[in-house]
A and B are shown apart, each in its own frame.
Chain A
Amino acid sequence: MNTTLLPLVTGAEVTFWIAGPLAVLGALGLVLSRRAVYAALSMAVAMISLAVLYASMDAPFLAMAQIIVYTGAVLMMFLFVLMMVGIDTPDSAVETLKAQRPLAFLGGIGIAALLIFAIGGALHRAEPATVAAANAEFGGNVEGLANLLFGRYVFVFELAAALLIVAAVGAMLLAHHQRVRVRKGQPEMAADRMYAYATKGEHPGPLPSSGVYAGTNAIGAPALLPDGSIAEKSISHTLTMRGAIVDPVPLQQVTGQTFAAIESVRDDEEDV
């Protein structure tokens, strides 16, 4: 091999300089993006970048596990929960805790500085040993890991298994919803609705549909009441929260102009 003679840029180095910045970008995206879904996707980027780095360091098993376990299972679970709890509102830009952000930033810099300082003091600038030899000993990375897992670390392995089981059972227990009231069927719902009508005067019928205008009939366009005000119930609550509502005034104007044009044509015909 001529690597000793020619200090070429190796594949590992190229990989690092591509995947490393990507991972940092992903991490920054996770921290900075205001919407939780974007954050999750940035996270996926960071994780896949890390998987690539693992692979470049002769750790193919971990690289696969990273992709399957983290990106595949854990992140998907996050996304499930995100969908489940609703993605009503993004984090507001205003920080409620006084001086939390600058202090947090300071803390982050402090951690980075401390760690890098420690790394700088600890390293002996020597060539990395690489795990190629260790991998080759049992015929591959997976075999080598298996040897350690079921050999030296077998008790830890079993404990980890127990931990996973317990965690699964615990999660089931936590998330299990004990029904405290009888589930409401259609008759009960109808009775409730009539009761609400009787006591609070709420409309017992179906909710009004969204508005229909000359320009749009999208779900975000509110319906108008006869007096010209917006019918609150014609739009989804979530859309209201997100502010994804189409302003009815311009739509109304277009509609009004259209009607006016039609009327004028009719008038002309009558005049004729």
Chain B
Amino acid sequence: MILLETIAEPVAATGMFTWAWTMIAVPAIVAGLLLLAGKLSDAWGHLVATAAVFWSFAIAVCLFAEQLLAPATERAVAAPAYTWFSVGEWTFQVGLLVDQLSILFAMLITGVGGLIHVYSIGYMSHDPRRRRFFAYLNLFIAAMLLLVLADNYLILFVGWEGVGLASYLLISFWQHKPSAAAAGTKAFVMNRVGDLGMLMAISTMLAMFGSSKFTEVNAGAASTEPMWATLIGLFLLLGACGKSAQVPLQAWLLDAMEGPTPVSALIHAATMVTAGVYLVVRSHALFEAAPTAQMAVIIVATVTLLAGAWIGTSQDDIKKVLAGSTMSQIGYMMLAAGIGPAGYAFAIFHLLTHGFFKANMFLGAGSVMHGMNDDVDMRHYGALSKVMKVTFLTFAMGYLAIIGFPFFSGYFSKDHIIEAAFADNTFIGVCALIGAGITAFYMTRLMLMTFFGEKRWQPGVHPHESPKVMTIPLIILAILSVGAGIVLNFWIQEWLAPAVGNHPHELSLVPTPVGWMTMAVVALGVVAAWLVFGRSSIPVTAPATNNPITLAGRNVLFGDQVNDFLFVSPTTALATGIDTTDARGIDRMVDGGAQAFGGLSTQMRRLQTGYARSYALTMVFGALVVGAVLILTQLG
């Protein structure tokens, strides 16, 4: 193990690294091209878009290879692009930072993104607006790459907003559905709350450090006052909560499932929602300087972890179960990121494996929906394992990965986090452990309801396997779900050490006591789910229940109601009040003044008779007055 407490300065870009910017530029240009070219590009737009993503992927792989070949201290590469603007003494450089952390993200985004592009060719083949869909997807890829490749917080924020825009456009892609339009708006508005936190954090950084560059902020973090570091940390956490759907800004993620399934897989499972984790890991120096902020991250993460799992147990919509699961898993990542140096690598590790298996499962769910006429209610599924063999098998790989079946990818990444949590605090560890059990429970429930049991298909539905263009990405992602963990397990800590700092942590294939415990809890969850859902038949409509836990889960823990009560209602009342004040008070005052003048004018108007003789009379008297004044003053 290499102990690197000081982070190596990035070296200047040479060779392939001078091409790094094309990773962002190509998808962005293609997105613009597809949107501007309009119907001309309907026939070939999706192919160009897919090719653009694979271009970015190829560059990312090449850069990764160069980094592998380079010595550990020279792997982080800074590639300044141009000067954006210069204000006074402060010059703002746009630059990219390709280091060990961002290259992993770049490969995840472009790799999984590429597969999802391929998948979408099949999934969206009947949609008349497919070209537009691909343009938005490319826009997202470009923005997300900008987010992870930026070398400072301000450019990161540009990407941050870009993915928010792409997310909004894609959630409400089927804009003819009011629910989709509302969901997009909801996501956008709730993300703005988080963005406010980001902006405040960046502004505070600029005030404190005079720069928003990662290197300078990290360098300055240790020496700054803890109060300011805490403040920045909390602001960053707010931003991360918004983007990563952490409590209390979690409510948008389940509604975001209104978007097309590839969008859910790419944006709301594999990449965008993990941006918050990236942010926390990227700002590790700040959080290490602010234990309070770290504690806040851990609390938020733990609450979200359990809340997401809870939601997952009670939803009947297959995508919403997966969305709850995503919340929960991101909670694990945030937990790891909040624990500190011991957890950064595991956070990223889990992020990568989760990106693979969750994308796999989302695409699998999409494949199921594709076969079931876009029905998302699991109570209408059942016994699909026989008709959709490929989907079933790939989904099963993802399932085993997420519940942490030994030697599948989730087993490694999640167990490390639970172990790290136990090492940090027993209570947090127990929570994480319970979360793992619940994860096993709801995922087993999903599997049983979808692929096993008797047929509960709606009339007229004829499930069928999806075309190859959809199943091949599934197979690739399934392989990654199985194998990514064991490949990355012994390597990622060392690899990320220069970027995020390192904490020695013994790793082996033999489970630790905590590992054994985790396996037991997971087994318990699986068995419990089988006892509840595997043995008896499942009603086609959700049975009425008074169980408060189930009710809360079905209603997404009343997140919307809480938001309504705490924010929407007071804001509406305030707006109504201001409107009333404006209409009754200010407007009346202004209108009253105008009316007074109007009335006065109406009276004065009567002086204008139009009769020349009246005017002449006035003139005579005026002349008289002037003459009298002249004479009287002469007398004086």
Q: Which residues of A contact B (CB under 8 A)?
A: 97, 100, 103-104, 107, 110-111, 114, 117-118, 121
Contact = CB atoms under 8 A, between A and B. Distances in A.
B624 interface: yes
A100 B631 contact: no
B631 A104 contact: no
B616 to A, nearest CB: 9
Interface in B556-580: none
The 4 closest A-B pairs by CB, nearest first: A107-B620, A110-B624, A114-B627, A118-B631
B613 A111 contact: no
A100 B617 contact: yes
B164 to A, nearest CB: 72
B611 interface: yes
Given A97-B613, A97-B614, A121-B635, A114 B628 contact: yes
A141 B371 CA distance: 126
Given A97-B613, A100-B613, A118-B631, 7 more contacts: A97-B609, A97-B611, A110-B620, A114-B624, A114-B627, A114-B628, A121-B634
Contacts of A104: 617, 620
Contacts of B623: 111
Nearest to A103: B617
Contact of A111 (B611, B614, B624): B624
A103 B631 CA distance: 22
Given A114-B631, A117-B631, A121-B631, A107 B614 contact: no
14 contacts: A97-B609, A100-B613, A100-B614, A104-B617, A104-B620, A107-B620, A111-B620, A111-B623, A111-B624, A114-B627, A114-B631, A118-B627, A121-B634, A121-B635
B84 interface: no
Interface string B591-623: 000000000000000000101011001001101
Contacts of A100: 613-614, 617
B127 to A, nearest CB: 70
A111 B623 CA distance: 9
A111 to B, nearest CB: 7
A231 to B, nearest CB: 39
Contacts of B609: 97
A20 to B, nearest CB: 24
B568 to A, nearest CB: 66
Contact of A107 (B624, B628, B631, B634): B624
Contacts of A103: 617
A177 B574 CA distance: 72
Contacts of B634: 121
A104 B621 CA distance: 9
B299 to A, nearest CB: 87
B634 to A, nearest CB: 8
Nearest to B628: A114
A107 B617 contact: yes
A107 B635 contact: no
A93 to B, nearest CB: 16
A33 to B, nearest CB: 18
Contacts of A114: 624, 627-628, 631
A100 B618 CA distance: 11
B627 to A, nearest CB: 5
A169 B628 CA distance: 40
Contacts of B620: 104, 107, 110-111
A103 B611 CA distance: 15
A214 B627 CA distance: 66
A232 B82 CA distance: 100
Contacts of A117: 631
Contacts of B635: 121
Nearest to B630: A118
A104 B620 CA distance: 9
B296 to A, nearest CB: 85
Contacts of B621: 107, 110
A118 B635 CA distance: 10
B200 to A, nearest CB: 73
A100 B612 CA distance: 12
B632 to A, nearest CB: 10
B159 to A, nearest CB: 76
A57 to B, nearest CB: 26
B528 to A, nearest CB: 102
Contacts of A107: 617, 620-621, 624
A118 B614 CA distance: 27
Contacts of A97: 609, 611, 613-614
Contacts of B624: 107, 110-111, 114
A107 B620 CA distance: 7
A118 B634 CA distance: 10
A97 B612 CA distance: 11
Nearest to A115: B627
Nearest to A95: B613
Nearest to B631: A118
A97 B614 CA distance: 8
Interface string B120-159: 0000000000000000000000000000000000000000
B321 to A, nearest CB: 89
Nearest to A110: B624
Contacts of A111: 620, 623-624
Interface in B326-361: none
Nearest to A118: B631
A100 to B, nearest CB: 6
B630 to A, nearest CB: 9
Nearest to B634: A121
Nearest to B627: A114
A118 B624 CA distance: 12
Interface in B211-231: none
Contacts of B631: 114, 117-118, 121
A103 B634 CA distance: 27
Contacts of B617: 100, 103-104, 107
Interface in B28-69: none
Nearest to B614: A97
